[in-house]
Amino acid sequence: MYNEPETDESLQGIDIPYEQLKGETLQRMIEEFVTRDGSNWEGSSADLAAKVAQVMVQLKHKKIKVVFDLRSQSANLVVC
């Protein structure tokens, strides 16, 4: 069976401008991100709302971005 060669785009995913996501979708994505096992919020006493706000600032300043992974069919926040 012939498989098409992988391109850089298919390996890295597709950047999704966060402004194009519905507000509720983005909110839930960020909440999942900041509450995920292994997230690095050690030493932070910030509550969920504060953590979400910090991530929104990082999105606005283009320090992180939303990427849709074609293989896993999932979106994630990644460092730019």
User: Tens-of-pLDDT digits for all 80 residues of the chain?
Assistant: 444 445 554 467 899 999 999 999 999 999 999 888 656 655 566 788 888 999 999 999 999 999 999 899 999 999 99
Range of the domain at 60: 12-36+48-79
Q: Indicate whether 6 belongs to any domain.
A: no
Q: Please tell me the predicted confidence (pLDDT) of residue 2.
A: 42
Q: What is the CATH number of the domain that holds 18?
A: 1.10.10.610
Q: Indicate whether 71 belongs to any domain.
A: yes
Q: Indicate whether 3 belongs to any domain.
A: no
Q: Please tell me the predicted confidence (pLDDT) of residue 22.
A: 96
Q: Please tell me the predicted confidence (pLDDT) of residue 31.
A: 92
Q: Indicate whether 1 belongs to any domain.
A: no
How many domains in the chain?
1
Distances (CA, A) of 60 to 9, 22, 56, 70, 80: 23, 15, 6, 24, 12
